[in-house]
Chain A
Amino acid sequence: MPYRVLTCALLLLPLAAQGSVLVPRDALGRDGRGLGPLAGATSPRRQQFLIGEGLLVALRGHGILRISFRRDGQPSSLASGKTIITVKLDQQTVQDPWRPSTTFQENLGPSAATVFQGEIVLPTSPRPAHRDSVGFGSSEAISIDLPQPYLYLGGTLCIDVEGEPVQGFATRAWPIDIDRDGARGVITTEGRSCVVTPERVTRSITADPVALRPGATARFVGFGAGGELAGLLLASQKLPSPIDLGFLGAPGCELGVVPILEMWSTATAHRRGPLAAANAYLSVPHAAQFVSARLHAQWLFVQGGAIRTTQTMTLDLAPVLASIDGAIVTSLPQRGASSGEIQVSAVPVVRIDWQ
């Protein structure tokens, strides 16, 4: 009898061993540099968090029991909500967390497992006493309990989340904390635009400097009229002197670049605002030759034979490669998205409980 008790105790010991891993390791006591939505929390989305194994050393060989996403430290109270989400986990498919695909399916291998499917409650979260005081308490994090442990053996961990708010229980905002390295590019505009914009919109082309870096999805916005065909012209060089397009029936409109790449879309009128915008997305490879690289861009709008052009924008990419061992791929707020924009050198602030 004593032997049987001892044997049972020995068998239970490894199972009872539990712990947790914090990503990033130093996240306690400081708010991450960024923030972002969690897929399904406030709108339908799909999202993948890719976390390099260097951040998960203590998790190797253990079964993931719970994943908790910490709220952002912004000084706001957050209202409760409910969401229906599906969580898949995968490991070792993405070899390098700085080089994920914008296509979600390509970041999941044949061994990807659906580890959770169901309703999650977003807790009511009071305004934090201080930005850096947020922890993983029941009102400070969204926790996902896995019905079965998921064994992590190593490699880049991909946490794939797809969801949408429960009808009638959507909350306005529940941002999660994101840690980033703060690197960014620089944009400058020059030349003239023949697109008429409101007085306080001083340029008809813009871009997100945070996404101008190797490994990220750079996004460009141009303002035209609803329904116009919109072409983003990308160039490695701009013209010494812009060419006036009077000979094409567009006097006062200038071409300022020699394009090496054109990306075409349609300008869409905003449902409430007075502007119509075109968007273009460019995946910048995570490679040394794109560190501090310089590009030039200009939008061209065409409708009924009429041409209009924006200013020329010079884009200086960030002077560094990624330094945080992770990336986040996030879709636009829509159901059934198959791809998303990449934020490189970024991780969600999460606690992963294991046994």
Chain B
Amino acid sequence: MSDITTEPDPPVEGQTIVITVPHAGPWFIARDGSGEVTEVTANDRGEIELPAPPGRGGDTFTVTDYRDPATDGNFSIQSQT
């Protein structure tokens, strides 16, 4: 995990999550082990706001810019209960 934070930390199932990444532009969020990837855009402040995390409690995600070497990080979603 490098240069990537989430608010709240950890993200909570069903709640808005703000991921802060170190640069604006296209980023990709992959749900580990699923093959699902979503392209998202970070604003000038490096923020990616997701109305709700794209998964369930216990799911782990990788956030990457797909550079080589990539800047990437991961987060896990906490169950609401």
A-B contact pairs, 6 of them (CB 8 A): A43-B3, A173-B1, A175-B20, A200-B39, A208-B23, A275-B66
Q: A347 vs B61: C-alpha distance in the bound complex, in angstroms?
A: 32
Q: A31 vs B47: C-alpha distance in the bound complex, in angstroms?
A: 14
Which of A97-105, A111-119, A235-243, A266-274 faces chain B?
Answer: A266-274
**Other A-B pairs, 8, CB within 8 Å; known A34-B45, A208-B23, A219-B67:** A72-B45, A75-B7, A175-B20, A180-B44, A270-B30, A273-B66, A274-B35, A333-B2
Whether A199 touches B45, Cβ cut-off 8 Å, given contacts A76-B5, A332-B69, is no
Whether A201 touches B28, Cβ cut-off 8 Å, given contacts A172-B5, A173-B2, A173-B4, is yes
Chain A residues near B25 (CB-CB < 8 A): 207-211, 219
Closest to B73 in A: A172
Q: A175 vs B4: C-alpha distance in the bound complex, in angstroms?
A: 9
Q: Does B14 contact A (CB under 8 A)?
A: no
Q: A221 vs B71: C-alpha distance in the bound complex, in angstroms?
A: 14
Q: Does B64 contact A (CB under 8 A)?
A: yes
Q: Judge whether A273 and B37 touch: CB under 8 Å.
A: yes
Q: Judge whether B30 and A273 touch: CB under 8 Å.
A: yes
- Tally A residues with Cβ within 8 Å of B: 44
Report which of A36, A172, A200 forms a contact with B37, defined as CB distance below 8 A. Answer: A200
Report which of B35, B36, B37, B71 forms a contact with A333, defined as CB distance below 8 A. Answer: B71
Chain A residues close to B by CB (< 8 Å): 31, 33-37, 42-43, 72, 74-76, 172-173, 175, 180, 182, 197-203, 206-211, 219, 221, 268, 270-275, 277, 279, 332-334
Closest to A177 in B: B45
Report which of A210, A211, A273, A332 forms a contact with B62, defined as CB distance below 8 A. Answer: A273
Chain B residues near A207 (CB-CB < 8 A): 25-26
Closest to B41 in A: A209
Chain B residues near A173 (CB-CB < 8 A): 1-5, 20, 22
Chain A residues near B20 (CB-CB < 8 A): 35, 74, 76, 173, 175
Whether A172 touches B66, Cβ cut-off 8 Å, given contacts A207-B26, A272-B30, A274-B30, is no
Report which of A34, A42, A271 forms a contact with B2, defined as CB distance below 8 A. Answer: A42
Q: Judge whether A175 and B32 touch: CB under 8 Å.
A: no
Chain B residues near A211 (CB-CB < 8 A): 25
Q: Mark B43-57, 1 if CB is under 8 A from A, else 0.
A: 011110000000000
Q: A209 vs B39: C-alpha distance in the bound complex, in angstroms?
A: 14
Chain A residues near B38 (CB-CB < 8 A): 198, 200-201
Q: A207 vs B39: C-alpha distance in the bound complex, in angstroms?
A: 12
Report which of B4, B24, B66 forms a contact with A34, defined as CB distance below 8 A. Answer: B24
Chain B residues near A175 (CB-CB < 8 A): 3, 20, 22, 46
Q: A277 vs B65: C-alpha distance in the bound complex, in angstroms?
A: 10
Rounded to whole Å, the gap between the CB of A167 and the closest CB of chain B is 15
Chain B residues near A334 (CB-CB < 8 A): 69
Q: Judge whether A198 and B68 touch: CB under 8 Å.
A: no
Closest to A33 in B: B44
Chain B residues near A75 (CB-CB < 8 A): 7, 18
